[in-house]
Amino acid sequence: MRRAICPGSFDPVTNGHLDIFRRTSLMFDEVIVGVFFNPGKGNPWFTVEERVEMLKLATKDIPNIRIEAFSGLLNQYVREQDAKIIVRGLRTLSDFEYEFQRALLIKEIDKEIETVFMMTGVEHSYLSSSGVRELLSFKGSIDQFVPPCVAKMIKDINSKRGN
């Protein structure tokens, strides 16, 4: 079985992420979306549990996808899942530079793990979770940037938080 890991913070999941997941699901028998806390990205807007739930809702139409939270080193998680492929979505040249360095580090740690880079569709090339969070912080509309089920969940979460 060819299994790939799509790791990320997904804070929140966007239509660009879904583009990568859908296309990846056509190339592998199973795709595991691994949600983790990235200390390099500051405080998350949503809890890991909320992000996992958003992803489960947004990907329920992709039959060969599994959503999980994980912590620790990515290479160890990839091994624990009996996978050898990491798929990283790219939007810009700066994404490539960042992801390329990470891929080289993982390759140095574990020679059997490969990283595959996938360009997002041009219609999503400007879209980022941080951009969605910025819109949320100013009470802007995010409806065109996230799946409808995620937009509803975010509105419900923000309503409970008093935002």
The catalytic site residues sit at 17, 41, 91, 129
Residues 6+ apart with CB under 8 A from 50: 153, 157
- Cα separation, 28 vs 148, in Å, equals 26
- Cα separation, 6 vs 4, in Å, equals 7
SS (H, E, C) 93-117: HHHHHHHHHHHHHHHHHCCCCEEEE
**Closest Cα to residue 25, out of 118, 92, 128?**
118
Burial 83-113 (b: 16+ CB within 10 A, else e): bebbbbbbbeeebeeebeeebeebeeeeeeb
Residues 6+ apart with CB under 8 A from 100: 117
| 77 in Cβ contact with 109 (< 8 Å) | no
